[in-house]
Amino acid sequence: METMDVPDKLHIQENEDYESLLSTNDEPVMYSDKCFKINAHGQSSERDLVLTTKHIYNLSGTKIRRKIVITDILAIIKTSFDNQFILHMPKDYDYRFDTSSRDEFIKLLQLRFANLNPVDTLKIYLVDDEIEKYVTPIKDKRYGISNLPPPNKRSKVEELEGSADLNEEGDCLESLCLEETTEDSADYRVTDDFSNTNSRENGRDVGMLEAEEAKEAACFEQDELTCRQSVLIFTNKKSTQKVLSLESFKILTVLGKGTFGKVYLTELLENKKLYAIKAIRKDVLLETEQIENTKLERDILLECDHPFLCGMDYVFQNDLRVYFVMPFVRGGELYKHFLKNKRFPEEQVKFYAAQIACAIGYLHSKDICHRDMKLENILMDEEGYIKLIDFGLAKILKDSEMSQSFCGTPEYLAPEMVSQKGHDKSVDWWALGVLIYEMLIGVTPFYNRSRNLMLTRIQQSKIIFPNKKKYKIEYSDEAQDIICKLLAKKKSKRLGSIDDMEEVLSHPWFSDINIDDLLERRIEPLFKPEFDDATDTKYFNTKIDFTSTVIPEEKQKEVEDNIDRFAGFEKNLSKF
């Protein structure tokens, strides 16, 4: 295996003093740099951090202080505001480091881990508070205690590139490292900013105690530094009676907290209309290199006008954050209704699938590929109709264009995405096939707890439909047929690959749905969510979060130094 051109900044590979120490002939050096090792008491010691193809070394001069087998690592915990990180190992106590080349080290470690252990994923957690609380010391390890952050701290997309150079087999399946959740744990599904793992069964009563409301309002104002600095950049409203700012909205509760910030349920004071405000931290956008993706998401939300897409009415900006202001969709995630019911009746599945197809068709007509369709990214409104959300992974693709990027949620990935051979907009039709199967049967068609096996099944396995009588599941021949045609492994043979939405909706399974009536919302839904009052949030896991979200000064300085990169938020919108 050839050695990659990697940053051996300390020239360990060339230094004869290290040759016998590290056995560099057997395990080439991939990375070396100065670092600080931080102990349980917060004391720092300057060390050399070395990554080879087999181990991580903590060196003091030519003395090995610690030697860690790469495959013994379960997770990496890193901060959003400095260069510290923790190596978490289930069989040993944690190690905490601080180095200016942290992200370079983590990227290389991810790549090597994926090669050495193709079955498991190296979990990456991004935390915005004090990292020492997440260190698992020796005393906790003895009692089986782990101080890992909660699942909602997992990076939304942990995407690896170029892993084929490190993989002797040339198998790039494990290059995809995504936050994953399942019904029972947090294993296979990417969470979004409208969810919160700290749930309460009936949601939070909007009629909060005055003291709590005051605390949350203070937290919100502190979070934004000051609402008075906010500027209305764009609005989708044809006319506005007065100039709006964040102070024009009253906070009712927190709907969720994600990688980029919080999502608030608010009320526009002038007309009592409910809005969800997504507060996006600019420092985290810089950290995750998501500025351009967020600009594209803004453009899509503001420009797209469709009954089955969740649009956006306003965008605000201040020095440290961008705010997406969207109408509140009260019924919550379709995923939560699915979990409660285990599966849906076929007519209900068809009703939802037709709406999703219409939404996809509209996006494709604008050259937008969604690339992250799943039940969590579909919201239900108060009438029982649905809206597709979350354009964080969307991409502009012309009809003749293909993308080489690798992203999405493992259960819904199309074969061409897994094989990294390039994909077009037909990956969305594959995802629709997965959704229809999942809503009918109760599980995605290629699911396996081993991500490697699941991705292999996506590429190679046939679709298996369960015995109707044995499992008491009802589905028609037409339903089975459309699933098989949407899940054609060759994208050129996939339903929707030629005439897009028209081709999909002309399938016999949809023959009893009048699409014009559907678009005009004249069809009576089989299920409508129930609400106690106008501000009932029972379908969201609302919980007040009183933790400090003040951005550290060094991160504020980083945003100031890169302020020109956010100038695009104030330019004219892209036209699709």
Q: Where is the binding site for ATP, in residues?
A: 282
Cα of first residue to Cα of last residue in the chain, in angstroms, is 46
Place of tokens 């009954």: 307
Which CA distances in Å does 399 have to 203, 358, 395? Answer: 44, 18, 12
Annotated binding-site positions: 282
Compute the distance between CA of residue 486 and CA of residue 495 in angstroms, rounded to an integer. 5
DSSP states of 49-76:
EEEESSEEEEEETTEEEEEEEGGG--EE
Beta bridge partners of 36: 46, 98
Specify the DSSP element, H or E, that contains 47: strand 44-52
Compute the distance between CA of residue 396 and CA of residue 377 in angstroms, rounded to an integer. 19
Q: Which two tokens stand for residue 213?
A: 């409301």
Q: Phi/psi at 234 (nearest 5 deg)?
A: -135, 155
Length of the chain: 576
Q: Which two tokens stand for residue 35?
A: 């670092």
CA 167 to chain centre: 26
Compute the distance between CA of residue 337 and CA of residue 399 in angstroms, rounded to an integer. 35
Q: Can 205 be counted among the known catalytic residues?
A: no
Q: Of these residues, 128, 372, 390, 424, which one is catalytic? A: 372
Q: Which two tokens stand for residue 468?
A: 């109707």
The secondary structure of residue 376, as a DSSP letter, is: G
Place of tokens 């969740």: 310
- CB count in 10 Å sphere of residue 132: 15
Which CA distances in Å does 1 have to 28, 53, 240, 327, 419? Answer: 10, 11, 64, 54, 22
- Print burial letters for 476-512: b (CB count within 10 Å at least 16), e (below 16): eebbbebbbbbbbbebeebbbbeebbebbbebebbee
Closest CA to 177 of 452, 523, 392: 452
Place of tokens 């439909």: 465
Compute the distance between CA of residue 333 and CA of residue 141 in angstroms, rounded to an integer. 37
Residues in CB range of 57: below 8 A, 6 or more apart = 22, 48, 49, 50, 51, 64, 66, 67, 68
Q: Which residues are catalytic?
A: 372
